[in-house]
């Protein structure tokens, strides 16, 4: 057994001691047993072929516990967007938050299915083992302002937040999760999100990953959509040393629409892996997916996107696109756009490209007097802009654009 | 409503076509000299001894066999079948009259009849079409036509067994150089027990004047077919090779694990076309061939080219990925495929394009057609290695679904390690629309003809790559397997 596994078991033991047999106890026990059985995934598993989590398995991180130290309101103002729910190392900090959490995980234990599925991946089992805290939001009617949720990780800590968003019938909401680091050291966020969009409801869900370049980030988001619902996910990854995002959107009610957008820009030796699955379980649903990646230096990226059309899910309309830009010879991109179709009256297509900046476009711009750097940057920004322009919270879009700008050659400030 | 009017007719047509029986199921009664069932070192030695093979080849087989013992049967393909008992199969079966016939007159008339039923009367072909056929009948090559003519040009076209006797240096140099003995489970099994196959060598600067062709056919019950093909095109050479397969109807599943290796040196080109029509099993999914094949070509030389074209309409399960290793600078790899699954057939097929040399190009066009309860999967890899500057790939995978109980799946893997690479992948899924059928009906085209027209149009890009006589056969095959089955 690895040291990390031992530490995880010790941390779990301590948590059980502390919390006693509360409403989530049985789930935690099941979670740790499953994780013990599965262990850290290795690259022999098809799902992890291109992402090696050995650095996480070898890291020396302890479980984040509730505390009142370390983070100041100034930090929150600097790192967040205001109007936030603030979590430090996975725990809600009422003293730093502007908004109030009305519901606790334990209180929704009976209304939301937390049971581990037979095929639940290792990191979901691990998250379940440490089930304790997270953003739980239930929306009835329309949320006037976007709700910001800020997750601050501190050096040396591992945290396992469980977020639950339920937009009820005819409801409308926009939720922005922002993941940041307080320091520059290693820490690990292993988040699980459960998203329920009820009949005729709509949710826009943005995840902005801006953690430091030593951080590990793993996430699993499950979305379940009811009849005539709308769900939009925007996943923007700029930070983290090793990031793996899994999202599964299940279209369970007729007439629902799921949209998954993603953008990452990596440098140094960053690694970003996005796995998406759209399940068309019933007829007459629509899904759109656009993921883009920009890879600089010796960074690496993975995209695996699957569209699964179930038997009898007729009149499905699904489109998936993945485009990647390699800026150097040392960057590596692996992409697997996949279609699995068991119905005949469907419109499904996917496309994937990997390439470098178009020489002719560069020449065109240079012939009009732009410097090489400016021409290049303009094209990269335009490439990324297709996603950032879809971020409709102005503050979030501007921040993402600013960070992208700062990473372009010639204007690297930070 | 007019749309509804077309429906019942359409439905009947589907049923009719789907119910169509396998037309080429018949068993030839020829006494076979077989090895006892089962697989062990003794069988490997028996096969090697029977084939009067040199010591090095026996050692090579044994190494493969020992490697195979340590390997596990792969289960990652998107196909499902009952476990295979490798000890129940017979690994060697040869027609009894093995005295090499010098001309067609010496060939057993029973054999010739079989080919006639298959629509490849050797005599006729020899005279009319000018195709040299190396017919493999249950593992042993029985007749090779046009050999003399080819010999004059220095072209070697013989059965694998003959090549081992007559061209040991060439065989030794290239055998296993593209697909190593222990490349994968089925390649290792083939390397240990292969019985025969074809060998082609085209010398420097020679353009093979005719299409070379082999018809493979599994005949005896319970025999696995393990043929091995090796084609070498020396500098500046060109050859077009056709491979056709048919098997008689049997209740039990039969295993077919072939290995094909292609090598092209500088400026050489090999065009390899396959029409695969092994027995697909009956309409309840009983019987049929398990077609687990390893095909790979190495573009060793600069500006060399390998082109795979396949039409896969048979087999209960197809599991094959004809690949190109583009080692030479400016080399080109192509893959054109039509795969059709009907009833309970399953196909997991595609290609691998590994770009190693600079300015290498590859094209992938895959057309999958699923009907009945058929499952059709495209699985492909495009890999651009760090030194493959300016590599270019274009992939297109289209699926056509006929009926609402079949499936079409696409699993492309794209790994890029060089920024100058330009890689594109596109895939789409569609069905034959009621409005398309209606449009044709309206103009006096019957539903059957309309479907046939649409399917052939869908697969046209691939048929265009086939040599003429094969294109005709392929279209006929699609027709028989599918005609009119629109949902």
The residue among B131 and A168 whose pLDDT is bigger is A168
Residue B298 pLDDT: 96
A262: closest CA of chain B, how far (Å): 18
Mean pLDDT of the region A84-97? 89
**pLDDT score recorded for residue B393:** 94
Contact of B341 with B313, CB cutoff 8 Å: no
A343 contacts B426? CB cut-off 8 A: no
Residues making up chain B, counted from first to last: 487
- pLDDT band, very low/low/confident/very high, at B141 (cuts 50, 70, 90): very low
> Could you tell me which of B67, B148, B55 has the C-alpha nearest to residue B103?
B148
DSSP, collapsed to helix, strand or coil, labels residue A162 as: strand
Residue A172 pLDDT > 90: yes
Which of A327, A336, A346 is the closest to B419 by Cβ? A327
Number of C-beta neighbours around residue B209 at 10 A: 14
Q: What is the average pLDDT score of chain B?
A: 79
Min mean pLDDT across A148-162, A261-275, B69-83, B330-344 is at B69-83
The C-alpha atoms of residue A128 and residue A192 are separated, in whole angstroms, by 9
> How many inter-chain contacts (A to B, CB under 8 Å) are there?
110
| Contact criterion met (CB below 8 Å) for A182 and A75 | yes
**Cβ-contact A238, A210 below 8 angstroms:** yes
| C-alpha distance from residue A286 to each of A233, B216, B346, B430 (Å) | 14, 46, 28, 15
Band (pLDDT 50/70/90 cuts) for residue B20 is: low
Reply yes or no on whether the pLDDT at B127 is more than 50: no
Of A145, A118, A134, nearest to A37 (Cα)?
A118
Handedness of CA B168, B170, B171, B174 (dihedral sign): positive
Nearest CB to B423 within list A311, A312, A355: A355
Q: In the prediction, which pLDDT does A393 show?
A: 92
Q: Given this model, what pLDDT does residue B469 score?
A: 67
Alpha-carbon distance B398 to nearest alpha carbon in chain A (angstroms): 9
Kindly tell me if the per-residue pLDDT of B106 is higher than 60: no
| CA end-to-end distance (rounded Å), chain A | 40
- According to DSSP, the β-strands at B212-217 and B238-246 are parallel
Q: How high is the pLDDT of residue B210?
A: 80
Question: What confidence score (pLDDT) does residue A390 get?
Answer: 94
Q: Which of B74, B390, B416, B437 to mutate to test the interface with A (most CBs of A within 10 A)?
A: B416
At B91, is the pLDDT very low, low, confident or very high (cuts 50, 70, 90)? confident
Among the listed ranges B254-258, B266-270, B364-368, which one has the minimum average pLDDT value? B254-258
- Confirm or reject contact between A356 and chain B (CB < 8 A): yes
B126, B104 Cβ separation under 8 angstroms:
yes
Specify the pLDDT at position B8.
Answer: 43
The CA radius of gyration of chain B, in Å to the nearest whole number, is 22
- Distance from the Cα of A325 to chain B's closest Cα (Å) equals 8
Q: In a mutagenesis test of the B interface, which of A303, A315, A330, A339 is the best target, namely the one with the most B β-carbons within 10 Å?
A: A339
**CB contact at 8 A, B369 and B408:** no
Query: What residues in B contact A345, CB-CB < 8 Å?
Result: 404, 431
Find the residue in A nearest to B401 (Cα): A344
Instruction: Please give the residue that has the higher pLDDT: either A413 or A208.
Output: A208
Residue with tokens 């005896």: B220
Report the distance separating Cα A283 and Cα A227, nearest Å: 11
What is the pLDDT, as a whole number, of residue B32?
54
Question: Is the pLDDT score of B103 beyond 80?
Answer: no
Selected residue with higher pLDDT from A301 and B162: A301
∠ Cα B266 B272 B277 (to 5°): 165
For B181, the token pair is 């003995």
Distance from CA of B254 to the nearest CA of A (A): 28
* Cβ of residue B401 closer than 8 Å to a chain A Cβ: yes
Cβ contact A326–B421 (<8 Å): yes
Give pLDDT, residue B105: 57
What pLDDT shows up at residue B211? 80
- Indicate if the pLDDT at residue A112 is higher than 80: no
Distance from CA of B33 to the nearest CA of A (A): 44
> Which of B376, B400, B404, B424 is most worth mutating to test chain A (most A CB atoms within 10 A of its CB)?
B404
Contact A336 B412 (CB under 8 A): yes
Categorize the per-residue pLDDT at B128 as very low, low, confident or very high, splitting at 50, 70 and 90: very low
Q: Tokens 């178009």 sit at which residue?
A: A358
Residue B448: the pLDDT is 79
Determine contact: B424 vs chain A, CB below 8 A: yes
**Tokens of residue B340, six digits:** 């059709």
pLDDT of residue B16: 56
Does the pLDDT of residue B478 top 80, yes or no?
Answer: no
Half-sphere exposure for B206 (CA within 13 Å, toward CB) = 19
Whole-complex ipTM: 0.78
Residue A312 to residue B404, Cβ atoms within 8 A = yes
- Residue from A299, A312, A324, A344 whose CB has the most chain B CBs within 10 Å, to mutate: A344
pLDDT of residue B31: 52
Question: Measured between alpha carbons, how far is residue B482 from residues B26, B148, B318 in Å?
Answer: 21, 41, 18
From B268, B335, B321, select the one nearest B293 (Cα to Cα). Answer: B321
CA distance A191 to chain B (A): 28
pLDDT at residue A270 greater than cutoff 70: yes
* DSSP code string of A169-182: TT-EEEEEEEEEES
B24 has a pLDDT exceeding 70: no
Q: Does B415 touch chain A (CB under 8 A)?
A: yes
- pLDDT value of residue B197: 82
Rounded Cα distance between B365 and B314, Å, is 20
Over 60: is that where the pLDDT of B118 sits? no
Q: Tell me: the pLDDT tens digits for B215-230?
A: 554 444 445 578 889 9
3-class DSSP assignment, residue A271: strand
User: Nearest by CB to A336, which of B409, B413, B419?
Assistant: B413
Residue B77 touches partner A, C-beta closer than 8 Å: no
State the smallest CA–CA distance between residue B403 and chain A in angstroms: 6
Is any Cβ of chain B less than 8 angstroms from the Cβ of A43? no
- The lowest-confidence range among A198-202, A208-212, B40-44, B379-383 is B40-44
Q: What is the pLDDT of residue A329?
A: 86
Residues A325 and A347: their CA atoms lie apart, in Å, by: 28
Q: Give yes or no for B420 touching A (CB within 8 A).
A: yes
Query: Has residue A257 got a pLDDT over 50?
Result: yes
> Rounded to whole angstroms, how far apart are CA atoms A219 and A225?
19
Query: Across the interface, do B76 and A342 touch by the CB < 8 Å criterion?
Result: no
- Does residue B404 belong to the interface with chain A, where contact is any CB pair within 8 Å? yes
Q: Is the pLDDT of residue B97 over 80?
A: no
pLDDT beyond 60 at B284: yes
Radius of gyration of chain A (CA): 21
Most confidently predicted of A60-74, A244-258, B396-410: A244-258
Q: What is the pLDDT of residue B18?
A: 47
Residue B335 has pLDDT above 70, yes or no: yes
Model confidence over B339-396: pLDDT tens digits?
988 888 899 999 999 999 999 999 999 999 988 888 999 999 999 999 999 999 999 9
Mean pLDDT of A273-294: 96
Cα separation, A143 vs A132, whole angstroms: 26
Distance (Å) from the C-alpha of residue B137 to the closest C-alpha of chain A?
Answer: 38
Measure the CA–CA gap between A289 and B231, rounded to whole angstroms: 44
pLDDT interval class at B244 (50, 70, 90): confident
The stretch A84-99 carries a mean pLDDT of 87
Q: Does A331 touch chain B (CB under 8 A)?
A: yes
Q: Does A348 touch chain B (CB under 8 A)?
A: yes
**Which residues on adjacent β-strands are paired with residue B88?**
none
Instruction: Report whether B148 contacts B182 (CB < 8 A).
Output: no
What residues of chain A lie within 8 A of the CB of B422, using their CB? Answer: 354-356
Our CA dihedral for B125, B259, B425, B456, rounded to 10 degrees, sits at 30
pLDDT band at B9 (very low <50, low <70, confident <90, very high): very low
Q: How far is A330 from chain B (nearest CA, A)?
A: 7
Whether B453 and B484 have beta carbons less than 8 Å apart is answered as: no
Closest in B401, B424, B427 to A349, CB measured: B427
The yes-or-no verdict on residue A380 having pLDDT over 60 is yes
Helix, coil or strand: residue B225: strand
Q: How many C-beta atoms surround the C-beta of residue A120 within 10 A?
A: 19
pLDDT of residue A304: 95
**Which of B410, B431, B436 is most worth mutating to test chain A (most A CB atoms within 10 A of its CB)?**
B410
Partner-chain contact A355 B421, CB within 8 Å: yes
Helices (H) then strands (E): counts for chain A: 8, 20
For A353, which residue in chain B has the nearest alpha carbon? B424
Rounded CA-CA distance B409/B379 in Å is 8
Q: Using the beta-carbon criterion (under 8 Å), do A356 and B420 form an inter-chain contact?
A: yes
Q: Does pLDDT of A277 surpass 50?
A: yes
Mean pLDDT (whole number) for A67-83: 84
User: Is the predicted pLDDT of residue B250 greater than 60, yes or no?
Assistant: no
Q: 10 Å Cβ neighbour count for B269? A: 21
Q: Which residue has the higher pLDDT, A203 or B153?
A: A203
Chain A touched by B403 (CB under 8 Å)? yes
In A, minimum Cα distance to B77 occurs at A46
pTM reported for the whole predicted model: 0.82
Q: Does A353 touch chain B (CB under 8 A)?
A: yes
Question: Residue A292, SS3?
Answer: strand
Sorted by sequence, the CB contacts under 8 Å of residue A165 that are 6+ apart come out as: A135, A137, A139, A173, A175, A193, A194, A195, A196, A203, A205
Distance of alpha carbon B143 from alpha carbon B102, whole angstroms: 8
Run of H or E including A276: strand A271-280
Query: What's the pLDDT tens digit per position in A98-110?
Result: 866 556 666 666 6
Say if A283 is an interface residue toward chain B (CB within 8 Å).
no
The pLDDT confidence band at residue A323, using thresholds 50, 70 and 90, is very high
Closest CA to B316 of B252, B272, B265: B252
Neighbours of B188 (CB within 10 A): 26
Q: What is the mean pLDDT of chain A?
A: 90
Least confident of A249-263, B40-54, B92-106: B92-106
Decide if B402 touches A, using CB distance below 8 A.
Answer: yes
């Amino acid at each position: 057994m690895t040291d990390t596994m031992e530490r995880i078991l010790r941390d779990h033991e301590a948590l059980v001691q502390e919390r006693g047999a509360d409403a989530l106890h049985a789930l935690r026990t099941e979670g740790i047993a499953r994780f013990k059985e599965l262990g850290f995934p290795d690259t022999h598993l098809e799902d992890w072929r291109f992402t090696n989590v050995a650095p996480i398995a070898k890291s020396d991180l302890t479980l984040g516990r509730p505390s009142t130290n370390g983070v100041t309101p100034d930090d929150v103002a600097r790192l967040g967007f205001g109007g936030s729910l603030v979590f430090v190392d996975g725990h809600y900090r009422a003293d730093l938050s502007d908004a109030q959490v009305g519901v606790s995980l334990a209180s929704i234990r009976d209304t939301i299915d937390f049971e581990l599925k037979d095929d639940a991946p290792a990191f979901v089992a691990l998250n379940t083992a440490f089930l304790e805290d997270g953003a739980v939001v239930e929306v009835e009617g329309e949320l006037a302002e976007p709700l910001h949720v800020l997750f601050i990780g501190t050096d040396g800590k591992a945290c396992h937040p469980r977020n639950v968003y339920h937009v009820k019938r005819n409801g409308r909401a926009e939720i922005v999760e922002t993941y940041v680091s307080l320091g520059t050291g290693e820490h690990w966020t292993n988040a699980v999100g459960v998203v329920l969009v009820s009949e005729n409801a709509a949710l826009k869900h943005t995840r902005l990953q801006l953690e430091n370049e030593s951080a590990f980030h793993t996430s699993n988001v499950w979305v379940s959509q009811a009849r005539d619902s709308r769900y939009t996910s925007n996943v923007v990854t700029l930070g983290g040393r090793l990031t793996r995002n899994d999202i599964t959107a299940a279209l369970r009610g007729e007439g629902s629409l799921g949209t998954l957008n993603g953008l990452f820009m990596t440098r140094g030796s960053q690694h970003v892996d996005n796995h998406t699955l759209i399940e068309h379980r019933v007829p007459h649903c629509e899904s759109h997916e656009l993921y883009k990646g920009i890879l600089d230096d010796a960074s690496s990226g993975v995209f695996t996107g699957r569209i699964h059309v179930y038997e009898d899910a007729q009149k499905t309309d699904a489109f998936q696109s993945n485009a990647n830009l390699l800026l150097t010879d040392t960057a590596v991109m692996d992409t697997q756009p996949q279609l699995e179709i068991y119905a005949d009256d469907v419109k499904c297509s996917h496309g994937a490209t990997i390439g470098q900046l178009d020489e002719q476009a560069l020449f065109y711009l240079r012939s009009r007097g732009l410097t090489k750097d400016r021409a290049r940057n303009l094209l990269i920004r335009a490439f990324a802009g297709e996603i950032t322009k879809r971020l409709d919270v102005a503050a979030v879009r501007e921040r993402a654009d600013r960070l992208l700008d700062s990473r372009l050659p010639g204007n690297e400030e930070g | 409503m007019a749309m509804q009017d077309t429906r019942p007719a359409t439905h009947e047509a589907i049923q009719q076509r789907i119910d169509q029986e396998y037309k080429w199921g018949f068993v030839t009664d020829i006494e076979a000299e077989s090895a006892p069932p089962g697989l062990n070192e003794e069988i490997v030695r028996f096969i090697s001894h029977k084939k009067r093979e040199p010591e090095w080849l026996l050692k090579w087989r044994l190494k493969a066999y020992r490697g195979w013992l340590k390997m596990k049967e792969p289960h990652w393909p998107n196909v499902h079948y009952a476990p295979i008992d490798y000890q129940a199969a017979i690994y060697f079966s040869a027609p009894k009259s093995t005295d090499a016939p010098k001309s067609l007159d010496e060939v057993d008339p029973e054999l010739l009849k079989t080919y006639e039923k298959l629509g490849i009367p050797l005599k006729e072909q020899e005279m009319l079409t000018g195709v040299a056929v190396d017919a493999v009948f249950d593992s042993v090559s029985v007749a090779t036509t046009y050999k003399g003519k080819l010999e004059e040009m220095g072209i070697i076209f013989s059965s694998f067994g003959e090549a081992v006797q007559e061209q040991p240096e060439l065989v030794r140099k290239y055998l296993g150089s593209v697909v190593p003995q222990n490349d994968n489970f089925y390649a290792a099994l083939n390397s240990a027990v292969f019985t025969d196959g074809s060998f082609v060598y085209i010398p420097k600067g020679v353009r093979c004047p005719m299409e070379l062709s082999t018809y493979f056919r599994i005949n005896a019950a319970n025999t696995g077919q393990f043929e091995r093909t090796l084609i070498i095109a020396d500098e500046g050479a060109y050859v077009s090779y056709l491979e056709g397969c048919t098997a008689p109807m049997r209740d039990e599943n039969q295993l077919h694990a072939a290995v094909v290796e292609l090598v092209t040196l500088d400026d050489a080109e090999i065009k390899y076309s396959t029409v695969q029509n092994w027995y697909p099993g009956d309409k309840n999914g009983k019987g049929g061939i398990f077609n687990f094949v390893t095909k790979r070509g190495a573009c060793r030389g600069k500006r060399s080219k390998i082109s795979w074209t396949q039409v896969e309409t048979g087999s209960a399960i197809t599991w094959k990925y004809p690949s190109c290793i583009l080692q030479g600078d400016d080399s080109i790899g192509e893959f054109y495929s039509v795969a059709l699954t009907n009833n309970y057939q399953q196909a997991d097929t595609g290609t691998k394009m590994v770009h190693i040399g600079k300015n290498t190009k590859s094209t992938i066009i895959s057309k999958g057609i699923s009907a009945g309860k058929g499952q059709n999967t495209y699985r492909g890899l495009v890999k651009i290695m760090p030194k493959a500057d300016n590599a270019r790939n274009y992939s297109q995978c289209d699926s056509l679904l006929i009926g609402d109980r079949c499936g079409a799946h696409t699993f492309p893997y794209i790994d890029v390690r060089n920024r100058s690479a330009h890689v594109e992948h596109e895939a789409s899924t569609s069905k034959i629309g009621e409005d398309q059928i209606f449009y044709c009906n309206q103009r006096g085209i019957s539903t059957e003809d309309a479907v046939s027209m649409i399917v052939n149009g869908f697969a046209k890009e691939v048929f265009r790559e086939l040599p003429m006589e094969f294109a005709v056969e392929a279209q006929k095959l699609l027709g028989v397997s599918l005609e009119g089955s629109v949902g």
